[in-house]
A and B are shown apart, each in its own frame.
Chain A
Amino acid sequence: MSMLEELKEQIRTALPDLDMVIAWEQGFDAAHGTPLFIRTEADVDRLMVGPLSVQNPATYLPALVKAKGAGKIGVVAKGCDSRAIVELLQEKLISREQVVIFGFGCNGCVSQALLEGKIEEAGKYSAELTGVETDGRTVKAQVAGETLSFDFNDVTFEKCLTCEYPNTLIADHFVGDKVEVAPGCEKAPSLEEFEKLSQNEKLSFWQEQMRRCVRCYACRNACPMCVCRDHCIATTHDPQWISQENNAQENFMFQMIHTMHLAGRCVECGECERACPVNLPLMLLRRTMGEAVRNVFDYTTGTDPEVVPPLMTFKVEEENINERGW
């Protein structure tokens, strides 16, 4: 039985005890995936798991488990998605009894933005992309009736290149074999490039980038850890904390608030950057903060549900913070 068929079988068996199972199906064309909320057996047939299963289903969990009369929610989770689930558990935003996790080994996802970039490089019009297939090494894209081939590593998300957790970390059901692949690189190439810049160049870089932010808050709402939802300080009117003015300075202010609120919480699932309609390189902010947290607290977010996140507790003497030595 194929991995997909096996997963469908597991979902069918578990479904009677669940409100729904969150997974993916094909989106508006063969080049896009979209979240699927499986409520009936008939829905199970629409399940799609693969390189286009990009959305992080954990984003929906806090609201769903809080809903009136909520029962158990099933969720199919990639490794990175499962880190978000673990972090939500650590922060007690969901409880383990409320979720049933279907796991698998993930071979990486295809980034629509990078794929479109490659298609443009090949002299084609990316908007005519109608289909994507991959065997995990090569990606074949159908563009206006032609098939273009790309190296998987060239069109996968940087988070997949650096992924250390391709297998769902905690799962009630696991389908197929575990993926045993070492990360393609240790550090995200874009971060390495960014870190070479001087402080002033970094500022200019962000001023240039933030100009085009449309403040649609897709980055915030796609984020599994942005749980303030309707009460985010970026959009409350009373009090109104930040100006509605749309310019580089105010946009950067919002993005920095987002970054700070994710300190020690962000699992680097990349949803903010993927969701951004104008392709802001938001993962540079997330990874920089992630590295700072790892260095200061020897802590990697969302890997162990039993651990209390370092910023949700305190130590009288932090090991890596020199508080009194001066």
Chain B
Amino acid sequence: MERKFISHDDITAWLDGLAEDHVVLVPMKDGGSVSFRPYVQGRTPNLDRQAVPSPKDAVFPQNETLLKYRFEKDPEHLDRTRIQVKETLPTEKTVVVGARPCGTRGMLTFDRVYDCDKNQDLYYRTRKENTLHVTVACTRVESTCFCHDVGSGPADGEGSDVLLVPVASGYVAEPITERGEALLAASQFKAAGDREAEAEAVKAATVAKLPEAHDYSDSAEKLMARFDDMEFWEEQSAKCISCGACTYLCPTCYCFNITDDTTGLTGRRLRSWDNCMSFQFTLEGSGHNPRPTKAHRLKNRVGHKFAYYPMLHANAIACCGCGRCIKSCPAGVDIRAIVKAAQNYTPKKEEGGDES
């Protein structure tokens, strides 16, 4: 497929056109933060940085209405109530412009659970089919970046429809899918020419900046070996404050909760992101909670991404290495350090021995 070029000056004109028949989600400066927001004509998106929240909202929104319902009393038989239910499938077409390769690729984690032979989540599937991803390759490496440790890289197009590679005066656009190629038919995209070579040089320069990749391939085995070692998990989770910043900002976290919002005789069934760091996540109706402490819960979060999920899904690590959980953790919990601690675990010496 042919690579194209779009200049910085043409970006807003292209987005204007795109926004005519799509919801276009772009990273926007939002208060003291950068979040994905629907593109508004005349406002320049922040394409040069990673947004704080992940782009997953497009295919797996923080909240969605699964169905609406209405109770109806039978006037002849007041003891009878009928329920009318109306499903609400999403219809809007969305393009996410400006996510990073890590975040876009991270969303593939959902497919193995919500769009596979065993399960077909209609809501997820519909959104996924209605969403295109125009991703921007990274040119900077942050101290929290580790996409290359989990099998990806700063210009990985996996999961994207188009990859934009920043060059001097704009972006070289690489179509990844046919739907992506169709997007590049817009008039703002010109022939890439010499800029193709420039884009390749930009990619290579970023790769050269990456620190040596850490090998997580034995993380499942090593984490499972620590499964019953609550002392290990208490130590690792000591500073965790059990909030949901990590899970809510994570591109790969896909757990949800379902609640009914009823007002009088009508209501909505909501699906909203759940958070495995919360006490309520596994609280059973009986009052029993199999994960009563933050140590149990952090064990689950780390274990799910680096052990249980890979064991179920052909060794695919359910972490995209975007670093959001590290950067935004109020207490500075570092998931890399926890997995590494399990990988490098050596039993503590008995009491009275030399501690060093």
Contacts and interface: CB of A to CB of B under 8 A. Distances in A.
Contacts of A3: none
A215 B259 contact: no
Interface in B324-338: 326-328, 330-334, 336-337
A187 interface: no
Interface stretch (A147-155, A216-224, A294-302): A216-224
B31 A27 contact: no
B257 to A, nearest CB: 7
Contacts of B280: 230, 235-237
Interface stretch (B190-198, B244-252, B312-320): B244-252
A274 B330 contact: yes
B135 interface: no
Interface in B187-244: 235, 238-239, 241-244
A326 to B, nearest CB: 37
B63 A244 contact: yes
B244 A216 contact: yes
A214 B243 contact: no
Interface residues of A, number: 54
B205 to A, nearest CB: 13
Interface in A158-196: none
A16 interface: no
B292 to A, nearest CB: 8
A231 to B, nearest CB: 8
Given A35-B332, A55-B330, A237-B280, A244 B270 contact: yes
B179 interface: no
Given A230-B279, A235-B278, A246-B272, A278 B332 contact: no
B331 A34 contact: yes
A244 B270 CA distance: 8
Binding site of B, secondary structure by majority: helix, strand, loop or mixed?
loop
Contacts of A208: 31
Interface string A234-276: 0111001001111100000000000000000000000100110
B149 to A, nearest CB: 14
Given A55-B330, A222-B330, A230-B279, A243 B259 contact: yes
B239 A212 contact: no
A244 B257 contact: yes
A71 interface: no
B94 interface: no
Nearest to A220: B243
A37 B238 contact: yes
B332 A214 contact: no
Contact of B142 (A128, A216, A281): A128
Contacts of B142: 127-128
Given A127-B140, A212-B31, A279-B31, A32 B332 contact: yes
Interface string B146-162: 00000000000000000
B332 A127 contact: no
A40 B330 contact: no
A273 to B, nearest CB: 10
A41 B356 CA distance: 9
Contacts of A28: 143-144, 326, 332, 334, 336-337
A41 B355 contact: yes
A113 interface: yes
A280 B327 CA distance: 16
Nearest to B257: A244
Interface string A50-70: 000001000110000000000
Interface of B: 30-33, 35, 48-50, 52-53, 62-63, 140, 142-144, 235, 238-239, 241-245, 247-249, 257, 259, 261, 270, 272, 275, 278-280, 283, 326-328, 330-334, 336-337, 355-356
Pick the 9 closest A-B CB pairs, nearest first: A34-B332, A279-B32, A275-B330, A230-B279, A221-B243, A277-B328, A29-B143, A216-B244, A27-B332
18 contacts: A32-B332, A34-B332, A34-B334, A127-B327, A212-B33, A214-B53, A215-B62, A222-B243, A222-B330, A222-B331, A237-B280, A243-B261, A244-B257, A275-B330, A277-B53, A278-B31, A278-B52, A279-B31
